[in-house]
Amino acid sequence: MDLKFEVSARINKPVEEVFEAVVNPENLSQFFTTGGAKGRIEKGSTVMWSFHDCPGEFPVEVDEVQPNRLITMRWDAYEPGPGTPDYKTTFKMAFEPTEDGRTLVTISEWGWPNTASGLQGSYGNCMGWTQMLCALKAWKEHGINLREGMFQ
């Protein structure tokens, strides 16, 4: 069995606005990367993300960017427990304009081994990406940062 997941949400904003909220580090830091983001998401770059719930900076390697359409990235795998796994997972963010002017954002991630700790790692990241989509929606539609104070 391949460990992978997909989550999605509709954001009541045009695709260009939603895409810019993700690729621009100043915007991403407003609703998702609670410890900040460094570097614009561009093909071939490595950006740095920080989160209050997982201290430290995380390098994120950008493999593909199709403006207002798709972002594919890789980062060090997460598994709960001691030590850091020695492999990366890949995640994809797809941005699709809807007929009514909203944006459907779909995030999928894969690459964990089919082990108990790989399964736990995938569940943790699935939770994180679901939170990210909820936070993106709240920030873009209402100016609210859902993650502020959540982990401190």
Q: What is the pTM of this model?
A: 0.93
Q: What does the alpha-carbon distance between residue 43 and residue 61 come to, in Å, rounded to a whole number?
A: 9
Domain positions in the chain: 3-142
CA 130 to mean position of chain CA atoms? 9
Q: What is the CA radius of gyration of the chain?
A: 15
The fourth-level CATH superfamily of domain 3-142 is START domain (3.30.530.20)
Residue 44 backbone zone (phi > 0: left; psi -120 to 50: alpha; other: beta): left
**pLDDT attached to residue 151:** 64
Alpha helices in the chain (DSSP H): 15-23, 25-31, 116-142
Mean pLDDT per 10-residue segment, the chain (152 residues): 94 98 96 93 97 84 98 91 86 98 98 93 94 96 85 62
